[in-house]
Amino acid sequence: MEISASPPSRPRFRWQLRTQCLELGERTRLMAIVNLTQVNGFPDSANAKFAVAAAVEAVDGGADIVELGSAATRTGTQPVSAKEECARLLPVLEGLLLARPKAIVSVDTSYAATARAAAKAGAEIVKDVSGLTWDAEMAEAVGQSGCGVVLMHARGRMRESLAQGPMTGDEVVQAVFAGLCESVALAEAAGISDERMVVDPGFGFGKRGAENFTLLAQLSRLHQLALPLLVGLSRKGFLGEAVKDVQAEGLVAGSHVSESRHGAPRAEARYIASVAGNVAAVLRGAHILRVHDLQAAREAVAVADMVLAAGEQ
């Protein structure tokens, strides 16, 4: 009796950006995070010099995309204005493209004004955590910009995410699928073609602990959208919760890594968990990973991509 071959687990796409294209699926693409709210270790700093250096380092270190985020998107955080976003973001975007003109830059924003300004300054991608739903002008702004777009799913705005009720396993996937369908429809109505879209299930955004693992386990179901998948698991709190009971005592209690006020390990203690989560995401069909620790992610996806490739032979 012969064992039938399993179908390819990650479909191929060609992602059309503002002036470039990215082939997706043959290998995992990495989006390196440059958080402008924590430049040089100082929260809410907008120090462009250090941010540009970090972004250049990411490009030279092998990032396919550099994401510039000028507003904290952690659950419960206070949003900033579009004016403040632009003041932080545009000098860094311009500085990076001056130093590395061929860099592919994504801006993380939910404001149409920021999206327009960033595209004009040379951004190739707009990533919107709201999936075009928080700013009524966002879909039109992205459509006119020509940028590629990442449509993310979030349950409630940032300060509302904590109040979202629990979901069963199937409800999680259904809610994400329905929300992403809504965002895709908004994009299409604004003249954004499928070739410009990538979807992100929004791990941690209105999803509680174990709900995120259900979503990760069933990630491949989102291929029914017929769009590439971006996954952002890096340093997420639910990963810290999953590993805190098995970590060496000194890792969390020691002076170099402290606990949060909720008792979960802070970001530094989620390093290995992030690597593990990234491998799982690739094996479930993620095309792009959004990461903090670039070199670790490069090595992890090299192995995961070999597993995928072997399975497709």
Per-residue pLDDT at 147 = 98
Q: Which amino acid is residue 12, in one-letter code?
A: R
Per-residue pLDDT at 67 = 97
CB 198 within 8 A of CB 150: yes
CATH fold label, 14-154+162-238+287-294:
TIM Barrel (3.20.20)
**Tokens 């954004």 belong to residue:** 192
**Antiparallel, parallel or unpaired: β 29-35 and 105-108:** unpaired
**Tokens 């490009």 belong to residue:** 59
Using 70 as the pLDDT threshold, list the residues of the chain that sit under it.
Answer: 1-8, 38-46, 72-78, 156-165, 249-268
Per-residue pLDDT at 206 = 84
Question: Domain map of the chain by residue range?
Answer: 14-154+162-238+287-294
**Antiparallel, parallel or unpaired: β 230-231 and 288-291:** parallel
State residue 13 phi and psi, 5-degree precision. -140, 165
How far apart are the C-alpha atoms of 302 and 304, rounded to whole Å? 6
> Which value, in Å, is the radius of gyration of the alpha carbons in the chain?
19
How far apart are the C-alpha atoms of 158 and 147, rounded to whole Å? 25
Per-residue pLDDT at 39 = 55
Per-residue pLDDT at 261 = 37
Helix crossing, 112-121 with 138-145: angle to 10°? Answer: 10
Spell out the SS3 assignment of the chain: CCCCCCCCCCCCEEEECCCCEEEECCCCEEEEEEECCEHHHCCCECCHHHHHHHHHHHHHCCCCEEEEECCCCCCCCCCCCHHHHHHHHHHHHHHHHHHCCCCCEEEECCCHHHHHHHHHHCCCEEEECCCCCCCCCHHHHHHHHCCEEEEECCCCCHHHHHHCCCCCHHHHHHHHHHHHHHHHHHHHHCCCCHHHEEEECCCCCCCCHHHHHHHHHCHHHHHHHCCCEEECCCCCHHHHHHHCCCCCHHHHHCCCCCECCCCCECHHHHHHHHHHHHHHHHHCCCCEEEECCHHHHHHHHHHHHHHHHHHCC
Residue count of the chain, please give it.
Answer: 313
How far apart are the C-alpha atoms of 308 and 105, rounded to whole Å? 27
- What residues contact residue 114 under an 8 Å CB cut-off, 6+ apart? 70, 82, 85, 86, 89, 107
Per-residue pLDDT at 197 = 98
